């Protein structure tokens, strides 16, 4: 995939109506509906402010949650419009629908320097099906399409990809940054390239491991998926997370790494607990020697040293997935140590969304990383080398 795409700075937007796809899929309080984190709204501000400053009339759109049967008042974007207005210090006009009479009338009346937010795109059944009629109706309101919702670019929906069939399509600043860092790390990394892969399951990281074996110098394995690799090599894993169906695959990956000259690092010791709980009793054992009735919940101190040494002189580090159950303080030490090691390295550090992003932020190291991806699923598919529909549809630079 070509990661070199035209951005909002490469097109004339003054006096034009711009359809802007944002990621306003914010977390909300289940009882009150109050927004519990406005980080995604804040992340969209640089692109919105740029467009308004340039004299564009901005028609913003986004999905929120997973409405089952069309419009659902609980998943309205009205609270987002209110918060966005507070952050911008100006009124955000709210449409009552996506491509209905209200949206069309408000879009037609919108003046340069004003912003309109369409209702939740998933209130339209055609959104997730990438219905060309819906895409055409959305595109008809504007003259330029700007995509800035990296968290949704791995989905070929009407608002993320379909509209680009009818309008000149470019990226906003958020997607540009993702393409610069994630694209750069894969297409042209500063070497050595070290990939740290954690999380629960080997099965969810197959494509990533396979793709990274072609480009990485070192691959580090941690988290729940390391026990499948351990068992594949004849180790005892007690009650640890194990995907028995993927043991042969794990062996193949180790062999493939050896054949390609890629260092493939697996844990050498394990902190295990007698139950999956924050106050479980713990003991330290050698990797592959977890007793029955115990389960691996974190990497041990020898592994921490091995892994920290491996990133110390890296040129680029990509990290996706925690090293242990970082939600439990007693089993967060491996993840903490990796985050600290990355904060001290001079490497380009790219954190691939999801749990790793949450861990780095929770541990207070976010500002020490070169880039933290805003899209969990999208960054994972990016690392797999898959084509992302919401990026592929943008004009090449």
The CA distance from 107 to 101, in Å, is 10
| pLDDT above 70: residue 345 | yes
List pLDDT tens digits, range 92-104. Answer: 999 999 999 999 9
List pLDDT tens digits, range 350-364. Answer: 998 678 888 888 889
| pLDDT above 70: residue 174 | yes
Q: What is the DSSP string of 101-151?
A: HHHHHHHHH--TT-EEE---GGGSTTTTTT-HHHHHHHHTT-SEEEE--GG
Strands 92-94, 115-117: parallel, antiparallel or unpaired by DSSP?
parallel
pLDDT at 374: 80
User: For 17-35, what is the mean pLDDT?
Assistant: 94
CATH for the stretch 8-173: 3.40.50.1260
List pLDDT tens digits, range 264-317. Answer: 999 999 999 999 999 999 999 999 999 999 999 999 999 999 999 999 999 999
Q: Which residues are catalytic?
A: 40, 201, 354, 377
The CA distance from 61 to 17, in Å, is 13
Q: Does CATH place domain 180-383 in 3.90.25.10?
A: no
Band (349; pLDDT cuts 50, 70, 90): very high
In the three-class reduction of DSSP (H, G, I as helix; E, B as strand; rest coil), residue 299 is classed as strand
Instruction: Calculate the alpha carbon distances from 96 to 58, 93, 105, 295, 300 in Å.
Output: 16, 10, 11, 51, 54
Torsion of CA 266, 271, 272, 276, to 10 degrees: -100
pLDDT at 353: 66
CA 205 to chain centre: 14
Q: What is the DSSP string of 243-288?
A: -GGGHHHHHHHHHHHHHHT-EEE--SEEEEESSSSTT--EEEEETT
Domain limits, CATH 3.40.50.1260, in the chain: 8-173, 180-383
pTM: 0.87
pLDDT at 279: 95
């Amino acid at each position: 995939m070509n990661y070199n795409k035209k951005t909002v700075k490469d097109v004339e937007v003054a006096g034009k109506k711009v359809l802007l796809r944002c990621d306003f899929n914010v977390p909300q309080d289940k009882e009150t509906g109050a927004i519990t984190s406005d980080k995604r709204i804040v992340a969209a501000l640089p692109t919105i402010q740029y467009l308004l400053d340039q004299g564009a009339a901005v028609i913003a759109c986004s999905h929120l949650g997973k409405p089952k049967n069309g419009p659902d008042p609980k998943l309205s974007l009205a609270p987002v419009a209110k918060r966005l207005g507070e952050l911008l210090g100006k009124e955000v006009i709210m449409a009552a629908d996506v491509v209905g009479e209200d949206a069309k009338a408000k879009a037609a009346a919108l003046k340069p320097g004003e912003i309109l937010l369409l209702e939740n795109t998933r209130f339209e059944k055609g959104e997730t099906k990438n219905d060309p009629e819906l895409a055409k109706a959305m595109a008809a309101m504007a003259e330029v399409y700007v995509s800035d919702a990296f968290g949704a670019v791995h989905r070929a929906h009407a608002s993320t990809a379909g509209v680009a069939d009818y309008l000149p399509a470019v990226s906003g600043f958020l997607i540009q940054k993702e393409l610069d860092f994630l694209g750069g790390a894969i297409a042209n990394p500063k070497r050595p390239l070290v990939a740290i892969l954690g999380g629960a399951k080997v099965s969810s990281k197959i494509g990533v491991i396979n793709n990274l074996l072609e480009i990485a110098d070192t691959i580090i394995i941690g988290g729940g998926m390391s026990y499948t690799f351990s068992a594949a090599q004849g180790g005892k894993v007690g009650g640890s997370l194990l995907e028995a169906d993927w043991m042969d695959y794990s062996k193949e990956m180790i062999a493939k790494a050896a054949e390609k000259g890629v260092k493939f690092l697996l844990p050498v010791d394990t902190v295990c607990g007698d139950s999956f709980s924050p106050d479980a009793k713990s003991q330290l054992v050698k990797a592959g020697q977890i007793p029955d009735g115990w389960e691996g919940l974190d990497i041990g101190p020898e592994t921490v040293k091995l892994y920290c040494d491996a990133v110390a002189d890296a040129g680029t580090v990509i990290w996706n997935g925690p090293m242990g159950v970082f939600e439990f303080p007693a089993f967060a030490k491996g993840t903490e140590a990796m985050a600290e090691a990355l904060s001290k390295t001079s490497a380009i550090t790219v954190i691939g969304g999801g749990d790793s992003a949450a861990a780095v932020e929770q541990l207070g190291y976010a500002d020490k990383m070169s880039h933290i991806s805003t899209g969990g699923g999208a960054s994972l598919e990016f690392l797999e080398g898959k084509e992302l529909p919401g990026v592929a549809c943008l004009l090449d630079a």
